[in-house]
């Protein structure tokens, strides 16, 4: 099998730092990721960051259809040429952050599984988009930075617990499947990576009456995570009731606690009470 390095060199290409390109070069790891995605013959798969198509081909062998999205025009041209004979693969040269996921959903006529080797600089905004579009996707199998995986799975009380932890864990179960050393990629990144699986809960962990307001309150609290909860809310600029501190106490939450100590149900009670 031709190596990633050799194939890129054969096309006169080098990885672009500006795009955060780290191509998965270890075939054993690639096979593990595909197995972890649990692809079945009737599945439609969205692959983000398809690169030179090694994983695309592996997914196409299992799925009914693969939508391969690659932002780099140079690489996408190679990918299109490679997939010319693959009737169940559609290659799109697009920025995934600008893609309308609902178009995929309408065309597929079913929920879609996501498999991705995410560029580090777009991981967090893309995760938020996936969570917001969770009715479109049945599951996510993602290669991401180890530190982002730690944030996704973090319990309350630690430095890794934050906005991403709360928003994701409210509606999904996040599993850390395995870690990947930098040597599995070309060029190797400076940090370890992790493969995670995200599957949606049948119902959210807590009763959130107004999701947009909930997000605003959580962001407001974590914007001042070094302050007590009461002071964080005062500095957040949120439109709060005059008796906000008493309202917090009445709902069983200590205004002197730190935002990162609140559980997700407590954040939900906080947001619901302040909205009322």
Look up the pTM and report it: 0.93
- The whole-number average pLDDT for the span 231-254 is 91
Q: How many CB atoms lie within 10 A of CB 253?
A: 20
For position 44, what pLDDT does the model report? 98
- Is residue 236 classed as helix, strand or coil in its secondary structure? coil
Domain span(s) for CATH 3.40.50.150 in the chain: 4-200
The mean of the pLDDT values for the chain is 95
Class of domain 211-275: mainly alpha
| Token code pair at residue 180 | 């990947």
| Ramachandran area for residue 100 (φ above 0: left; ψ -120 to 50: alpha; else beta) | beta
| Token code pair at residue 111 | 């929920």
For position 120, what pLDDT does the model report? 87
Pairwise pLDDT comparison (240 vs 76), residue with the higher score: 76
- The whole-number average pLDDT for the span 78-88 is 96
For position 241, what pLDDT does the model report? 87
- Domain at 4-200: CATH code: 3.40.50.150
pLDDT tens by residue, 167-218: 999 999 999 999 999 999 999 999 999 999 999 999 999 999 999 999 999 9
For position 42, what pLDDT does the model report? 97
pLDDT tens by residue, 15-26: 998 888 999 999
Domain span(s) for CATH 1.10.8.100 in the chain: 211-275
- The whole-number average pLDDT for the span 220-235 is 93
Confidence bin at 242 (pLDDT 50/70/90):
confident
Instruction: Give yes or no for a cis peptide into 4 (omega within 30° of 0).
Output: no
For position 1, what pLDDT does the model report? 53
**Alpha carbons 162 and 197: distance in angstroms, whole number:** 19
């Amino acid at each position: 099998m031709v190596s990633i390095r050799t194939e890129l060199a054969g096309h006169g290409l080098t990885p672009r730092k500006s795009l955060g390109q780290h191509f998965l070069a270890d075939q054993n790891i690639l096979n593990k990721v595909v197995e972890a995605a649990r692809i079945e013959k009737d599945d439609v798969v969205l692959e983000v960051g398809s690169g030179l198509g090694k994983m695309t081909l592996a997914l196409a062998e299992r799925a009914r259809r693969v939508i391969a999205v690659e932002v780099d025009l140079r690489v996408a041209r190679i990918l299109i040429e490679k997939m010319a004979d693959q009737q169940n693969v559609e290659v799109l040269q697009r920025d995934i952050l600008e893609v309308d996921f609902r178009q995929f959903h309408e065309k597929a006529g079913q929920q879609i599984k996501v498999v991705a080797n995410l560029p580090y600089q777009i991981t967090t905004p893309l995760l938020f988009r996936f969570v917001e579009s969770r009715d479109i996707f049945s599951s996510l199998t993602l290669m991401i930075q180890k530190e982002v995986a730690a944030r996704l799975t973090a319990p309350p009380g630690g430095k890794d617990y934050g906005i991403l932890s709360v928003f994701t864990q409210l509606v999904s179960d996040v599993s850390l499947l395995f870690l990947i050393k930098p040597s599995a990629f070309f060029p190797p990144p400076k940090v370890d990576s992790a493969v995670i699986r995200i599957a949606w809960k049948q119902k959210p962990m807590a009763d959130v009456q107004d999701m947009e307001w909930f997000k605003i309150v959580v962001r407001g609290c974590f914007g001042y995570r070094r302050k007590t909860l009461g002071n964080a809310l005062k500095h957040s600029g949120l439109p709060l009731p005059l008796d906000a501190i008493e309202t917090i106490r009445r709902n069983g939450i200590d205004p002197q606690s730190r935002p990162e100590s609140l559980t997700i149900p407590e954040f939900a009670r906080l947001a619901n009470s302040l909205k009322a």
